A and B are shown apart, each in its own frame.
Chain A
Amino acid sequence: MSHHRLEARDLSFSYPDGHEAIKNISFCIHHGESVGIIGANGAGKSTLLMLLTGLLFPGSGEVLVGDVRVTKKTLPMIRQRLGMVFQDPDDQLFMTTVYDDVAFGPRNYGLDEKEVGERVMKALDMVGIPHLKDRAPYKLSGGEKRAASIATVLSMQPDILIMDEPTAGLDPKSRRKVIELLKSFEHTKIIASHDLDMVLETCKRVMVIRDGQVAADGEALKLLTDAKLLDSCGLELPLSVQGCPVCSNHIG
């Protein structure tokens, strides 16, 4: 299954104002892996995701999806295989109804309306909101919006799901549902987030980014319990790993 592999080779990227956001990053993500990308604000997570999806092109280095290099030419094919879920659902849901939004991707690939319809309903079923199909995006709750924006990507039947802060701004119950949803997907997953508990639950592997470089790359449980590493990267232990406030007070 080599075509599901996602590889970054010596990626570097600078913004026009000279800020060097990504410095020489390399990694390889295999089929079926779930990888959390964590790091402080401004560490370069979002830039990295944009480089992976070809929304930005690297100054040097390359991104490979399977054996195909991400270039302007290969983009249409690559984008069908990489599904990117943006942080703000209001950016992702830009059509007037949920149905039209989920249909947007398939329609761009020239599928006939019947197949578009089938894909839309399948995607909505997967995230459990088929009844919301005719609803306008602004009438959805935060959790519903998140589910809908995930469906907009699923309808393109990607091999790899890339998500930017999938649990941001959700109430605890909605967050829980999104986590369960993510766990249920068999896709290769790349999840960038500050929600370290969610990362711990959904990802087996974690990459810690600091100042545009990979500070650590390894098993999630190991890295997310390394207080020293996390602290040096502007992070802290996930709450579930920290001691219980009641018990630890007693012990302390």
Chain B
Amino acid sequence: MLKSTQDIHRIDINNRETQGAALQPCPKNLNRDLILLMASAGDSFYNILHLDELARMDTSIHRVHPLAKLLVTVAFLVAVSSFGRYDISGLLTFFFYPVTIFVLSEIPAASILKRLLLISPLIVGMGILNPLFERQTFILGGVVLSTGWITFLSILIKGALTVTAALLLVATTGMDRLARALRMLGVPRIFVLQLLLTYRYISVLTEEVARMQRAYALRAPGQRGVHTRAWGSFAGQLILRSFDRAQRVWQAMRARGFTGDYNIGEDTRFKFRDFAYLSGWIFFFAVARIFDVPGFIGSIMTWLAKH
């Protein structure tokens, strides 16, 4: 906050203090009150802020071309999800990918893993039903278990791998660069621009909701959530404000020459390094998918132990 008030200094590019402020990756300029409210009201906004901050770091992974990272992520997801439901050992090799990215990108693992704990209830819910419905059994260490447990375990592992991969993609790339990668893939301009606008206004509108909820709660003590009578007017007010907001944004866009066709800017060229990154990982995924690496290692180890 202190630094920011100096930021408007005109033409003091040489001012060391302002330059110093620029080097800090994530200054806490945000309204703390707001963060508190967000955290309690559902952490969607806070989560976005956090990933956005991480994406502005500068590491070798952050510097890889966004399109290369996007394609690697997709290849990873395809490889992981192509495993059958009893195939656990083959899946384990795939942990190599997130671990490497975590280390190279210096993304704090805790922040992503925390999110993992909240993975969609559908995964756990559907997973846990398997032991109940699969009627075949297998024997592990003398205990007879439903094969559904294996299915459950493989679903959990897949869930962990896929969710982590997606979160790592944004945390090392950021929405703006990802949008450019989408453009390079031929996603329509109108969709990409609208996606960016949605992303941008999440913070503005959540702030508005936070203010409204606060005003509501102060005048409705002891109520849990918005009362039935206010359902329409509460969310409806927000819609009207959103429409007005959209109108003003539209004017601001138009005043700067927007005619419906916008070029969102180019990203850097695909370099040799990016190509190597892409092909390296795809090769690794292919090998890990086709050969059961852990099984191979395991058989060598047990063979060694016997001899």
The short answer to whether A and B are in direct contact, CB under 8 Å, is: yes
| Residues of B in contact with A (beta carbons under 8 Å apart) | 1, 4-5, 7-13, 18-19, 21-22, 27, 29-30, 49, 52, 56, 174-176, 179, 196-197, 199-201, 203-204, 245, 248-249, 251-259, 262-266
Prevailing SS type, chain A contact patch:
helix
Prevailing SS type, chain B contact patch:
helix
Nearest 4 CB-CB pairs, A to B? A131-B22, A108-B257, A105-B256, A177-B8
Docked-complex contact A97 and B176, CB < 8 angstroms:
yes
Given A96-B196, A128-B18, A147-B8, 9 more A-B residue pairs with CB atoms under 8 Å apart are A76-B257, A79-B256, A88-B248, A91-B245, A100-B176, A108-B258, A125-B13, A128-B10, A132-B22
How many residues belonging to A are interface residues under a CB distance threshold of 8 Å?
57
From B7, B175, B196, B245, A129 is in contact (CB under 8 Å) with B7
**Interface of chain A residues 179 through 208 with chain B (CB within 8 A):** 180-181, 184
**Chain A, residue nearest B45 (CB):** A138
Closest chain A CB from B27 CB (angstroms): 7
Q: Assuming A107-B265, A113-B266, is B255 touching A128 (CB within 8 A)?
A: no
Cα distance, A104 to B7, chains bound together (Å): 22
Residues of A within 8 A of B22 (CB): 131-132
Docked-complex contact A144 and B4, CB < 8 angstroms:
yes
Residues of B within 8 A of A86 (CB): 248, 251-252, 255
Docked-complex contact B265 and A96, CB < 8 angstroms:
no
Docked-complex contact A141 and B4, CB < 8 angstroms:
yes
Q: Which of B249, B258, B265 has the most CB of A within 10 A?
A: B265
Closest chain B CB from A186 CB (angstroms): 13
Cα distance, A77 to B270, chains bound together (Å): 36
Docked-complex contact B257 and A109, CB < 8 angstroms:
yes
Residues of A within 8 A of B251 (CB): 50, 55, 86, 91
Residues of B within 8 A of A136 (CB): 52
Closest chain A CB from B291 CB (angstroms): 42
Docked-complex contact B257 and A129, CB < 8 angstroms:
no
Residues of A within 8 A of B19 (CB): 131
Confirm or deny: A152 has a beta carbon within 8 angstroms of a beta carbon on chain B.
Answer: yes
**Chain A, residue nearest B52 (CB):** A136
Closest chain A CB from B39 CB (angstroms): 16
Cα distance, A125 to B14, chains bound together (Å): 11
Q: Assuming A53-B255, A138-B203, is B176 touching A128 (CB within 8 A)?
A: no
Q: Assuming A94-B197, A139-B30, A140-B29, is B256 touching A108 (CB within 8 A)?
A: yes
Confirm or deny: A153 has a beta carbon within 8 angstroms of a beta carbon on chain B.
Answer: yes
Closest chain A CB from B287 CB (angstroms): 37
Q: Assuming A96-B176, A97-B176, A128-B8, is B27 touching A139 (CB within 8 A)?
A: yes
Docked-complex contact B8 and A104, CB < 8 angstroms:
no
Cα distance, A84 to B5, chains bound together (Å): 24
Per-residue B-contact encoding for A87-113, CB less than 8 Å = 1, 0 else: 010111011110010011101110001
Cα distance, A84 to B258, chains bound together (Å): 14
